[in-house]
Amino acid sequence: MVRDYSAFMPGAAVPQNEPTPLERLGWGPAFSQQIEADALTATPPVRVVAVHRSGLQVLGDGIQTKLPPMAEATVGDWVLYDANSPRDSRVLERKSLIKRRAPGHDRSEQLIAANIDTVFVVTSCNQDFNVARLERYLALAFEAGIEPVILLTKPDLTDDAQSYVEQAKAISDRVAVLAINAKSDQPAEALADWCRKGRTVAFLGSSGVGKSTLTNALLGADAIATQGIREDDARGRHTTTHRELHQIPSGAIVLDTPGMRELQLTDAASGIAAVFEDIDDLAAACRFNDCKHEGEPGCAVQAAVADGTLDPDRLERWRKLQAEDAFNSATLAQRRGKDRAFGKMVKSAMKDKSNRRG
């Protein structure tokens, strides 16, 4: 199916006070200040609106084209489009970047999305709901410097939506939590504060939680395929297979993503600290600076567990996430080191070769 991108591309004349075609795509000072005015015509900015295996779908002011796959670009990125040599198109500095450790044995990192203003972490009021997984998503967003919001879909299918809301609220004071029926007319109004003109928001979460249903609700159209009715829709096949931006009537840009099976954090220490701010605050009051909270005297963390103010399971999840992040970050650093060493080796081999030739 070829998407109709005409909504992104109004006619040439833009009335005053109306957003320009680039602003409609989320363009703003954070990007324009990175380039000289004459670069705008030589290498015009385009936004990556979809990532396919075969390449990047990009849109700009009167530009709609596909770029070859570029490892350093991801959906949401702004790229200075070099029509003569598309591969050399330069990625502009980002406002934010969401990344994770690539699934599988490869230790590399995977870029998920760039220049997102709000991450909606979506889960459902059913067996998909999992506090540990929510904590991961929140850490991912905080690490990227993005405001996360938790959305609990399918409240209409349970009598107990409020208990899910309470469990989600207990994770962090800094995160708004909303129960929302994605199949109703609630989403546009409920999410309006975050979906203002020119803002880019993303739905992240497992398969089947309603990310595409929410995107359709914001679009006001059933433009995107969603899962059919099944007995158990909390698990199973993935319906959305690629990441794509959609422009919605409010003027915001919405990223629908495929469900993630596995979310491993890497280089996310500050994101984890933000989610577990309460434990970090307690740790600051421990007698020893390097307290491991494993029975040392004067440990404020263990004291909080003992007096019931800190859930021991939460402490355990914090430890686990920190350990995982430390391991992944170290292996990634090692890999980067190796890549650099390999790069140097290739360079010096090339130099030898040209020296020999010369």
Per rule CB under 6 A, is residue 123 in the interface with ligand GTP? no
Per rule CB under 6 A, is residue 310 in the interface with ligand GTP? no
Chosen residue from 259, 268, 282, 302 binding ligand GTP by CB under 6 A = 259
Whose tokens are 């170290």? That residue is 330
Per rule CB under 6 A, is residue 207 in the interface with ligand GTP? yes
Residues whose CB is less than 8 angstroms from the CB of residue 310 and which lie 6 or more positions away in sequence, other chains included:
278, 279, 282, 301, 304
Residue type (1 letter), 266: T
Per rule CB under 5 A, is residue 167 in the interface with Mg ion? no
Chosen residue from 57, 89, 172, 213 binding ligand GTP by CB under 6 A = 213
Chosen residue from 58, 111, 161, 209 binding ligand GTP by CB under 6 A = 209
* Strands of the chain, DSSP E: 45-52, 55-60, 64-67, 78-80, 90-91, 97-101, 109-114, 118-124, 147-153, 176-179, 200-205, 243-247, 253-256
How many CB atoms lie under 10 A from the CB of residue 90?
18
Residues whose CB is less than 8 angstroms from the CB of residue 128 and which lie 6 or more positions away in sequence, other chains included:
205, 206, 208, 209, 234, 235
Span from 15-23, 114-122, 185-193, 232-240 in contact with Mg ion (CB under 5 A): 232-240
Per rule CB under 6 A, is residue 118 in the interface with ligand GTP? no
Whose tokens are 């889960």? That residue is 123
Structure tokens at 204: 């992240």
Of 274, 291, 157, 134, the closest CA to residue 206 belongs to 134
List 48's β-bridge partners, or say none: 58
Per rule CB under 5 A, is residue 123 in the interface with Mg ion? no
Per rule CB under 6 A, is residue 133 in the interface with ligand GTP? no
Span from 102-110, 113-121, 179-187, 267-275 in contact with ligand GTP (CB under 6 A): 179-187
List 99's β-bridge partners, or say none: 111
Specify the pairing of strand 147-153 against strand 118-124. parallel
Span from 65-73, 98-106, 164-172, 223-231 in contact with ligand GTP (CB under 6 A): 223-231
Least distance CB 203 / Mg ion (angstroms) = 8
Least distance CB 233 / ligand GTP (angstroms) = 5
Per rule CB under 5 A, is residue 299 in the interface with Zn ion? yes
Per rule CB under 6 A, is residue 34 in the interface with ligand GTP? no
Span from 13-21, 163-171, 203-211, 292-300 in contact with Mg ion (CB under 5 A): 203-211
- Tell me the site size for ligand GTP, rule CB under 6 A: 23
Whose tokens are 């690629």? That residue is 242
Quick note: the x/- pattern for Zn ion over 276-295, rule CB under 5 A, is ----------x----x-x--
| Dist. CA 101–CA 321, nearest whole Å | 13
Least distance CB 20 / Mg ion (angstroms) = 30
Positions that interact with Mg ion (CB under 5 A): 211-212, 239-240
Q: Footprint of ligand GTP on this chain (CB under 6 A)?
A: 153-154, 156-157, 181-183, 207-213, 226-227, 229, 233, 238-240, 258-259
